[in-house]
Chains A and B, each alone.
Chain A
Amino acid sequence: MGKAIKVEHLSKAYQLGDFGTGTISRDLERFWARVRGKEDPFLKIGEVNDRTTKGTSDVVWSLKDINFEINQGDSVGIIGRNGAGKSTLLKILSRVTSPTTGSVKVKGRIASLLEVGTGFHPELTGKENIYLNGAILGMRKAEIKRKFDEIVDFSGVERYIDTPVKRYSSGMYVRLAFAVAAHLESEILVVDEVLAVGDAEFQKKCLGKMGDISTGEGRTVIFVSHNMDAVNTLCKTGILMDNASNIYSGEITKVTNYYFNNITANFTKDSIDGYLLKHKNKDIELNGLVINGQTTTIISATTDLSFEISGTSKIDEQIDFELYITDTVTQKTLFFSSLYFSQGLIVDISKGDFRISFNLELPENLYSGIYNLNLFVSKPGSLYYYKITDLLKINITGKPCLSGRSYSLEDNVGYASMVISNFNYSK
């Protein structure tokens, strides 16, 4: 089998901060170095991209010396946490931007899907946009004409095809856009997390189509996602990225397992307790959080989460614990708060140490995947003691839905099915 893509010593540096009067002098310096044939001074000071710590330099390497090869007909999943360099890699592969050093060699046409509906013009009708979008993605007009009926059929918006897309609902818009993209005929297809759109039925259709493309039609597919189930289903091999490098590659299940065991566990390099200590508050201090008996920053769960929160209070106060569970893919949130639904967890706390435990039942229709847990502690309706976002990650497994978030995407509220039980308060 031939090679489809070969990536050699690929690196990409970005400049942080704002551009203005301050950056022009350095630009001139770089220009002068180039004129004299010297090495670019800008690149010597670069450091590896780490979002969480404030670096000394405002030049970061988003990719650093990446090397890999992809065979023709492979379906490859690229995974890694936010900021690992996945999107930059995709941007370079799809020729939106170019690398700082190194090269990518490609055999065949490459089409990329970094966003659904790129170049849709709101004033044009659905039909006109199919042609325009298809051409933007690299299709010839005759090719689109040939597939036009198929595209309309796949999108399921036939009735609106002569209406300007600005009158479409967001779901219809996305359906039409994905339908065009799904009918691309390039040898290599690069797909960023675009499946997190549309309703469950349509997502299933998209995943099915993706599967057809890679297995049925023998084309090379590169797929970036946080959705491990989708990656596991669709891809044969995987590449794991972390800190601007590709650190592990191989068979997909091995890569995803490696990811869970090694990368996400070190998400903040702190245990939850350590994290809490950084958020000291004068009146109320939380100093311990144990979830399902674990104090690591990634928790695996299936049906419910048991919380144990301990702390000290200097005052007698009524406080509210709000829990937010955010889908890392769609950024949709499930929350549990008295502020909105008078259904929160309001506790009368008296001076001294306290310990609270409760169970949170996860909605049955949640989707398997990674979620962020956020914990807000407030005096109801007046002030927040703690606003801890991205406290930890919950890897929810064993749920029946493989694709499609089953709670409504429109109103993004799923509070009704999050139930608190076994509440206990002790001094």
Chain B
Amino acid sequence: MNQLAEEDWDIEITAKNNLFSLGLKDVWQYRDLLILLVRRDFVSFYKQTILGPLWFFVQPIITILIYNLVFNNLANIGTDAIPGPIFYLSGIILWNYFSECLTKTSTVFRDNAALLGKVYFPRLIMPLSIVLSNLIRFAVQFVLFVALIILYHFLGSPIMPNLLVLLFPLLILLIAALGLGLGMIISAVTTKYRDLAFVVAFGVPLLMYTTSVIFPLSVAITKYPAYSWIIKFNPMTAIIETFRYSFLNKGSFSWDLLAYSSITTIIILLVGIVIFNKVEKTFVDTV
């Protein structure tokens, strides 16, 4: 029996993996690495630039100016009585966060193959660091958004947050989970066959047009009642709509649609975890 007592192993390396276990205990052990990776992404982003972190503002500001010109003024697409710049900014910062999480996570194995092939740490750290460092970027852009709300408020626009802003943390969680889940599915599938990577490269920017970033849901419903389900089908739509409604008190909001988004997101995240767990142990052999 002594023999048995001695065989009290800490780590067991086998081919099998628990499908639903994220190994969060392991991730917690490596939390410092997570923080350092986020810091690395943030710091290396603006190294050797003069404007430094100010560059986080430049992209959304230029984008809203152009969107305002093209979609609002030229194409005359309504914005639910919300001032154009603020309408587009709200959509862009959320969409940016989602698409960055998705595209970066979907290539995480390939981009970091050299590192992951040489040293062990919980693989989940890598996608988590992407979600977190983009969250910082989002937070910076969110400050811009709040500043714009205050500015318009003083200019006499009736925009004003309502109680639904309490849902804000949930919205962020949903976006992160959706981007992470989809990204993990794609990253797992593309370790061996890279076909899907091409779809992501051109598909994600196009996907933006199937959600209410550049037009409000109400416009889609009135103009194309038969096809508006496509817009609703995109889980990001409910999130963006809720975000706008809660901060600007304009637009549309529906608990049903938000519930649909939440459930879809949870399913996608679970599927992502299962698939990610299946490949994380051996992807270095095929990537």
- CB pair A104 B116 closer than 8 Å: no
Q: Is A140 an interface residue (CB 8 A)?
A: yes
Contacts of B40 in A (CB 8 A): 121, 124, 128, 132
Among B10, B14, B120, which residue has its beta carbon within 8 angstroms of that of A99?
Answer: B14
Residue in B36, B37, B193, B285 whose CB lies within 8 Å of A24: B193
Which residue of chain A lies nearest to B45 when distances are taken between CB atoms in the complex? A123
Cα–Cα, bound, A115→B120 (Å): 12
| Nearest neighbor of B16 in chain A, beta-carbon distance | A98
Q: Using A94-B119, A114-B118, A132-B40 as known contacts, say yes or no to A103 and B14 having CB atoms under 8 A apart.
A: yes
A119 within 8 A of B: yes
Q: Are A92 and B13 in contact (CB under 8 A)?
A: yes
Q: Which of A105-113, A312-320, A382-390 contacts B (4 or more CB under 8 A)?
A: A105-113
B 6-28 to A, binary, CB cutoff 8 A, 1 in contact else 0: 11111111110100000000000
Assess whether A97 is in contact with B14, with CB atoms less than 8 Å apart: no
A123 with B116: CB separation less than 8 A: no
CB distance from A50 to the nearest CB of B (A): 19
Specify which chain B residues have a CB less than 8 angstroms from the CB of A6 in the assembled complex.
7, 9
On whether the beta carbons of A107 and B8 are closer than 8 Å, the reply is yes
Q: Do A96 and B10 touch (CB < 8 A)?
A: no
| Per-residue B-contact encoding for A114-140, CB less than 8 Å = 1, 0 else | 110011010110001001100111111
Q: Is A95 part of the binding interface, using a Cβ–Cβ cutoff of 8 Å?
A: yes
Given A96-B284, A98-B14, A135-B32, answer yes or no on A112-B120 (Cβ-Cβ < 8 Å). yes
Q: Is the CB of B116 within 8 A of A96?
A: yes
- A residues 159-194 near B (Cβ < 8 Å) are 164
Cβ-closest chain A residue relative to B283: A97
In the bound complex, do residue A14 and residue B36 qualify as a contact, i.e. CB atoms below 8 Å apart? no
Q: Is the CB of A261 closer than 8 A to any CB of chain B? A: no
Determine the residue in chain B with the shortest Cβ distance to A95: B120
**Partner pick for B12 among A3, A104, A121, A164, CB 8 A cutoff:** A104
Which residues of B lie under 8 Å from residue A124 when comparing CB positions?
A: 40, 43-44
Query: In the bound complex, how far is the Cα of B16 from the Cα of A102, in angstroms?
Result: 10
Contact in complex: A128, B43 (CB < 8 Å): yes
Which A1-22 residues have a C-beta within 8 angstroms of B? 2-3, 6, 14-15, 19
Report which residue of A96, A102, A106, A121 has the largest number of chain B beta carbons within 10 angstroms of its beta carbon.
A96
Q: Tell me if B52 is interfacial: C-beta within 8 Å of chain A.
A: no
Alpha-carbon distance A94/B284, docked complex (angstroms): 13
- Is A257 in the interface zone, CB < 8 Å from B? no
Q: Is the CB of B120 within 8 A of A104?
A: no
Given A3-B6, A97-B285, A99-B14, A141 and B119 contact (CB-CB distance below 8 Å): no
Contact of A138 among B30, B36, B118, B193 (CB under 8 A): B30
Cβ-closest chain A residue relative to B32: A141
The CA-CA distance from A100 to B285 in the complex, in Å, is 11
A105 touching B193, Cβ below 8 Å: no
Say whether B9 contacts A106, CB under 8 Å: yes
CA–CA, A95 and B123, complex, Å? 11
- B286 proximal to A (CB < 8 A): yes
Q: Which of A24, A96, A102, A164 contacts B119 (CB 8 A)?
A: A96
Interface string of A353-390 (1 = CB under 8 A from B): 00000000000000000000000000000000000000
| B11 adjacent to A96 (CB under 8 Å) | no
Query: Which residues of B lie under 8 Å from residue A131 when comparing CB positions?
Result: 36
Tell me the complex Cα distance, A121–B38, Å: 13
- Check if A103 sits within 8 Å of B13, measured CB to CB: yes
B284 touches A106 (CB 8 A): no
Q: Does A101 contact B (CB under 8 A)?
A: yes
Does B117 have its Cβ within 8 Å of any Cβ on chain A? Answer: yes
Do A137 and B9 form a contact, CB below 8 Å, given A14-B285, A98-B281, A123-B47? no
Shortest CB–CB separation between residue B25 and chain A, in angstroms? Answer: 14
Which of chain A's residues have a CB closer than 8 A to the CB of B115? Answer: 118-119, 136
Known: A95-B120, A96-B118, A135-B36. A19 touches B13 (CB 8 A): no
Most buried by A among B11, B17, B114: B11
A contact residues around B285 at 8 Å (CB): 14-15, 97
Nearest chain A CB to B115's CB is how many angstroms away? 5
User: Chain B residues with Cβ under 8 A from A123's Cβ?
Assistant: 43-44, 47-48
Q: Which residue of B lies closest to A116 (CB)?
A: B118
Q: In the complex, what distance in Å separates the CA atom of A425 from the CA atom of B47?
A: 65
Q: Which residues of B contact A3 (CB under 8 A)?
A: 6-7
Contact A135 B33 (CB under 8 A): yes
Quick check: is B162 within 8 A (CB to CB) of the other chain?
no
- For the complex, give the distance between the alpha carbons of A135 and B121 in Å: 9
Q: Which of chain A's residues have a CB closer than 8 A to the CB of B33? A: 135-136
Q: A19-B193, A114-B118, A118-B118 are known contacts. Are A97 and B44 too (CB-CB below 8 A)? A: no
* Chain B residues with CB below 8 A from A137, complex form: 119
The residue on A at minimum CB distance from B14 is A103
User: How many whole Å from A127's CB to the nearest CB in chain B?
Assistant: 12
- For the complex, is B63 an interface residue (Cβ under 8 Å from A)? no
Are A104 and B13 interface neighbours, CB within 8 A?
Answer: yes
Asked whether B153 is an interface residue with its Cβ less than 8 Å from the other chain, the reply is no
Complex Cα–Cα for A333 and B44 (A): 38
Given contacts A121-B40, A135-B33, contact A99 B15 (CB under 8 A): yes
Closest approach, in angstroms, between the C-beta of A4 and any C-beta of chain B? 10
| Interface check B157, CB cutoff 8 A | no
Docked pose: A138 CA to B281 CA in angstroms:
18
B residues 69-118 touching A (CB-CB < 8 Å): 114-118
Known: A92-B13, A132-B40. 8 other contacts (CB 8 A): A6-B9, A19-B192, A103-B13, A104-B14, A105-B13, A115-B119, A118-B115, A136-B115
Offer 25 A-B interface pairs, CB within 8 angstroms, sorted by A.
Answer: A92-B13, A94-B119, A96-B117, A96-B119, A97-B282, A97-B284, A98-B15, A98-B282, A99-B15, A100-B15, A103-B13, A104-B12, A106-B10, A106-B11, A107-B9, A107-B10, A107-B11, A109-B10, A115-B118, A118-B115, A118-B118, A119-B119, A121-B44, A135-B30, A139-B32
Question: What 8 pairs between A and B have smallest CB-CB spacing?
Answer: A95-B120, A135-B33, A98-B281, A105-B9, A104-B13, A106-B11, A141-B32, A123-B44
Residues of B within 8 A of A (CB): 6-15, 17, 30, 32-33, 35-37, 40, 43-44, 47-48, 114-121, 192-193, 281-282, 284-286
